[in-house]
Amino acid sequence: MKAAVLHTIGEPLVIEERDIPVPGPGEVLVRVVAAGVCHSDLHQQDGSVPPFRIPIVLGHENAGIVESLGSGAAGIEVGERVVVYGGWGCGRCRFCLGGQEQLCSTASWSGLGPDGGYAEYMVVPSARHLVPVGDLNLVQAAALADAGVTPYRAVKKALDLLVPGTTALVLGAGGLGQFGIQYLKMLTEARVIVVETSAERRDIARSLGADVVIDGSISDLQEAVRAAASEFGVTAAFDFVGSDTTMQLGLRSLERQGLLVVVGLAGGSVPVSFFGMASEAVVTTSNWGSRNDLAEVIALARAGALTISIEGYPLAEINDVFELLEKGKTKGRAVLIP
Ligand SMILES: [Zn+2]
Ligand SMILES: [Zn+2]
């Protein structure tokens, strides 16, 4: 099978021929139909988020068809169409038992430890990580495994806060932000303000229902957000970039008891101090999604409630896709089709 392998930090991935892996006891072999490309893959390739192991097949946003079962594997049928839940935990700690395997301390995640989906086949350690998707388009479904589920979890953290009359701020309308806008419009009464530097993505944000869309490259962003926000500021800010600049903008835009949820992995930081932010504001991160979060997002997609903006590319073009993503030139989620 073909696989795109990261051998050296900072170097392009190498497309190489490998044997199709054989699933061990309890494991499941999945034929990958689509694998989404995530900014965190770029961060691993450039070393800013060091990969757990090298060489590695990256790819943690996968959908495909069950090809074969290892001995004793049960709970899924050969031929079933599935999204691969990417947080592969120990299965025993309290986070795993609650379905939040992405928070398990084992750090054994698809494409971030074990080999992931930038290949024609991948081994999944347990059938519990496979969520059937029925007749959902698998190329679209792949994006749900991270771009779809991560903002869903982030928005759920603020549902109690986003009552009528409030505003929510979305920083970055790329693959994740586009889902975030939809969840905010679908699940809350908040007015949604979006800040985005790309004109194309600003148009997409508008088409997804954003109420106010601000060009992220203007000089006085803070003032523009203030003007668009409710009287005292935004009630919840979702930072899908995670740079110093966006985190500062998010925190400074908050009203009292507001919530900043940092999702993007750009590695930024922001000082938290008593007088440096609105009283009782809360800063947190949101890390991927639980198995339940993924099942809920898949249910929304199956009900036709989500617009999933996809750009498909052959696996062989993976390095070009990384470059496009790096330069912010993708409109929707880039998905590799092995
Ligand atoms: Zn990701
Ligand atoms: Zn665990």
Q: How many angstroms does the Cα of residue 145 sit away from the middle of ligand 1?
A: 8
Residue 39 pLDDT: 87
Question: What is the extent of the structural domain holding 209?
Answer: 150-285
Ramachandran region of residue 280, left (φ > 0), alpha (ψ -120 to 50) or beta?
Answer: left
Please give the biggest Cα pair distance in the chain: 61
Tokens in use for 69?
Answer: 């079962």
Relative to the alpha carbon of 93, which ligand is closest? 2
Q: How confident is the model at residue 53 (pLDDT cuts 50, 70, 90)?
A: confident
Cα 112 to ligand 1 centre (Å): 10
- 101-141 per-position pLDDT tens digit: 999 998 688 888 899 999 999 999 999 999 999 999 999 99
Q: Which ligand is nearest to the CA of 88?
A: 2
Based on the domain organization, do 124 and 249 belong to the same domain?
no
User: Cα(first)–Cα(last) distance of the chain, in Å?
Assistant: 9
**Counting Cβ atoms within 10 Å, is residue 324 exposed (0-12), middle (13-18) or buried (19+)?**
middle
What's the whole-number mean pLDDT along residues 50-69? 93
Mean pLDDT of the chain: 95
Same domain for 13 and 139? yes
Asked if residue 244 and residue 126 are part of one domain, the reply reads: no
Gap from CA of 63 to ligand 1 centroid (Å): 14
CATH at residue 54: 3.90.180.10
Number of structural domains found in the chain = 2
Q: Kindly state the percentage of the chain with pLDDT values over 70.
A: 100
What pLDDT is attached to residue 107? Answer: 64
Any idea which ligand is nearest the CA of 105?
2
Distance 101 CA to ligand 2 centre (A): 6
Q: Which ligand is nearest to the CA of 117?
A: 1
Among the bound ligands, name the one nearest to the CA of residue 176. 1
Ligand whose nearest atom lies closest to the CA of 263: 1
Clarify whether residues 169 and 279 are in a common domain: yes
Q: How far is the CA of 103 from the centre of ligand 2 (A)?
A: 7
